[in-house]
Structure 1
């Protein structure tokens, strides 16, 4: 899960609930069916706004934090656009044929896509932001960890459809 707006909604919910990081960590233990909860340091990494803050966390951590704050997960976190069906561990020798076909043959980073499309990086950022504001995902955008990758063919197809619709 990826925190929304660099954790601002999360910190606002904490403030509204009157919870600081240690109290929120303790409350996650109360709402956890296993009774384990999250450590103060992990909650600090997720809720923090400083240099050590993490933009991403596990589904379990997001669910426990949202439950402890009495909020929906979607109010505080963004569900990832792309998830792997299997582990990415290199220790496994078996591979599933489906996982090989899920990714496009060539993914580009933002600099490569910018050169490919002959558009600026800020133009790409603006397109992604406008799509997000409309509640959509920009075509071809795939999150790989914390970095963005792009399927150039999906981006081009969407641009063609957009130009013919206009």
Structure 2
């Protein structure tokens, strides 16, 4: 079945399996970055055209939808759109958008629950328990790569034993370990 038959529109072959990214904080980080850069929506659209190697950029309407509030605003966009906006604002992508942790392309189209953020989907556990995070979720939480998390684990970052494939992390224990790791690095730098 071709992409056209499945209802997907493909504008170039590199966009076939692109994930949708969700804007953070209902677009507030985007609006804050625009204010800091001193640009309006149309100016941001023009700036995306300058950073786009193809020279297309993002339309002012799309910028308006992503930075707007209310019923006309949209929470998701393609990776290319998010990247061009982040580049034009000279901001890291992860500060403006939630990055996908796994391929959920089919799930996103068929499951309305997939449009919710991880925090919105997470159900409260009894007695204040918190669910364990997958490695991809930990990477997204801290905005780091899988290589960085692998290095943390090699240096002693706590990993929880589970019957599941892959690593699971208790966020509270990881936060505590990172604080200790940063303190020991600062102590080592001070003594050197």
**How does the TM-score come out when normalised to structure 1?**
0.54
Partner residue of 2:23? 3
Partner residue of 1:58? 78
Partner residue of 2:87? 67
Which residue, 136, 139, 149 being the options, matches 2:138? 136
Q: CA deviation at 1:2?
A: 0.9
Q: CA deviation at 1:130?
A: 10
Q: Matches of 2:130 and 2:78 in 1, distance apart? A: 24
User: Secondary structure, in 3 states, of the residue corresponding to 2:124?
Assistant: helix
User: Secondary structure, in 3 states, of the residue corresponding to 1:54?
Assistant: coil
How do 1:6-45 residues align onto structure 2 when only pairs under 5 Å count? 6-45=26-65
Question: CA distance change for structure 1 residues 128 and 58 in 2, over 3 Å: closer, same or farther?
Answer: farther
Aligned residues: 110
Q: CA deviation at 1:47?
A: 1.1
Q: Matches of 1:74 and 1:4 in 2, distance apart? A: 9
User: Secondary structure, in 3 states, of the residue corresponding to 1:123?
Assistant: coil
In structure 1, the gaps of 5 or more residues are: 89-102, 111-120, 138-156
Q: CA deviation at 1:10?
A: 0.7
Q: Matches of 1:83 and 1:39 in 2, distance apart? A: 27
Question: CA distance change for structure 1 residues 62 and 128 in 2, over 3 Å: closer, same or farther?
Answer: farther
Q: CA deviation at 1:51?
A: 1.3
Aligned-residue Cα RMSD (Å) equals 3.8
Q: Matches of 1:129 and 1:7 in 2, distance apart? A: 27
Q: Matches of 1:73 and 1:31 in 2, distance apart? A: 14
Partner residue of 1:81? 101
Partner residue of 2:174? none
Task: Detail structure 1 runs of 4+ shifted over 3 Å in the superposition.
Answer: 126-131
